[in-house]
Amino acid sequence: MMTFDSEVQLMKVARAHPKTKLVLRIATDDSKAVCRLSVKCGATLKASRLLLEQAKELNIDVIGVSFHMGSGCTDHETFMQAISDARCVFDMGAEVGSSMYLLDIGGGFPGCENVKLKFEDYHQCDQSSTGQIFSIRLWSEDHS
């Protein structure tokens, strides 16, 4: 399993590992994060549709969506929007014939004791929102 977020990466995988399972990494609004990652990685929603279509044409399985809110993000609304965007990409995938079942919510969760919003608060958000929006396998990491 590998992640990708561009046509260049997709074509490399198609040539070198055509049987691998892919996870599409999407960009998020990480403007409230300490370390912003969307400036260097993640596909926009518009680009995501094109990438899913290209993957289907290349007969490459896209099995899920990945995002990272940026390190030190303390805004749960950002997290909720990223989950909503991921749902949109899952729907795009279904439209082109991809069977996605994995959502990797990355990291960026505060790992310090002195922050207002703790990982447990995000966990409650993701349990309620992903349960309403998805019926999938969920992966995450923490930031410490």
Parallel/antiparallel/unpaired status of strands 102-104 and 61-66: parallel
* pLDDT one-digit tens code per residue, 75-122: 667 777 788 889 999 999 999 999 999 988 876 555 555 555 554 554
Give pLDDT, residue 144: 46
> How far, in Å, CA of 11 to CA of 75, rounded?
35
Give me the sign of the Cα torsion angle 115, 141, 104, 43: positive
CATH number of 2-139: 3.20.20.10
Query: Residue 12 pLDDT more than 80?
Result: yes
> How far, in Å, CA of 96 to CA of 99, rounded?
9
Backbone angles phi and psi of 134, in degrees to 5: -130, 155
Amino acid in position 112: C
